[in-house]
Amino acid sequence: MSAIEQKQVTADEAGMRLDRWFKVHYPGLGFGRLQKLLRTGQVRLDGKRAESSTRIAKGQTVRIPPLGVELPADDKKNARPKSTKLIEDDRKAIEDMMLFEDSQVMVLNKPAGLAVQGGSGLKRHLDGMLEAFADKKGDKPRLVHRLDRETSGIILVAKTRKAAQELTKAFRHRNTQKVYWAMLAGVPKPKQGRISTFLARDEEEERMQVVRQGKDDAQHAVSLYSVFEQSAQKLSWVTMKPITGRTHQLRAHAAHIGNPIIGDDKYFNIENWELPGGIQNRLHLLARRIRIPHPSGHGVIDVSAPLPPHMQQTWNLLGFDATEYDPDVDDPNEEELNKKR
């Protein structure tokens, strides 16, 4: 893109954060670069300065300076159309991931290694694969939240615009309860606790770091954790519940308490730590369960995902039985831990 553009916010995008809007339209644009463009007033909303967290409304105009990034995700004019075989392959792959489906929602079990959205150099990602389910008008199912590329497990997809709005609202108002399973190095002390920090992005390292309150772009992050099983003092099977939804939150928090997640290439911070034999050096983090009000206003979606193959292998080696424990989302000890939220 070589000139300033003006784009209008569609009804479908109403209520979306501005940084999320840019992620959808310009997946190759880094967070740090966007922040700089916002700080310097090069990106504007209806002619006024805005912040990354600003919620956009239908009909507003976003001023976009020359970005120098790859083709936006929604620009179809110069994009090569997918072949029929690729569309069929994508449809089959998503159907294989399906844990739950009705007229308004899909709940998918995303495999580790599959990116949720596009980015520089990425040819295949979940958001693009959903085009295989587009209707005659070209409208496709919508992602309502994200997982890191190497995290496996539950992803919610809205099949209608209204469902997307209702599910997004549930996430925003924290009416959603999520349970993750992780394999950590060592055993956290205490075995059940609450982690409360401020996180900010380290652009050079492309990771989140724990910072003091008040630092630019710092966001409050709260997680709960509980050790279920351990292998001596070497490894522990831990359930984690993010109360807030920050980027890499659980990974950064696990490292912060001195028990990083096994296979985490960004946050594992124990020097000279040796991975036990037979365990794959891949991220051991599973979005295990989600509980969220159904977008229809009737009932609750409550779905669990199985361990991915590399984590199941680790559980087998350590003699852990995943069928022994499926934690209630409403943990009786959670209320006490979360009083200071």
* Active centre residues (catalytic): 148
Nearest to 148 by CA among 121, 167, 123, 126: 126
Contact call for residues 105 and 163 (beta carbons, < 8 A):
yes
Residue 39, Cβ neighbours under 10 Å: how many? 13
Q: Coil, strand, or helix at residue 328?
A: coil
Query: Do 152 and 111 touch, CB atoms closer than 8 A?
Result: yes
CA dist., res. 208 & res. 182, Å (int): 19
For residue 117, which of 108, 107, 128, 106 has the smallest C-alpha distance?
128
Question: Would you tell me the crossing angle of helices 31-39 and 18-25 to the nearest 10 degrees?
Answer: 130
For residue 41, how many C-alpha atoms fall within 13 Å in the half-sphere facing its CB? Answer: 3
Rg, Å, the chain Cα set: 21
- How many CB atoms lie under 10 A from the CB of residue 4? 10
Nearest-angstrom CA–CA distance, 247 and 207 = 9
Query: 98 and 107 in contact (C-beta within 8 Å)?
Result: yes
Cα–Cα distance between 234 and 96 in angstroms, integer? 35
Contact 278, 149 (CB under 8 A): no
Q: Which two tokens stand for residue 196?
A: 């409360």
The H or E element containing residue 8 is: strand 5-8
Q: How many CB atoms sit inside 10 A of residue 167's CB?
A: 26
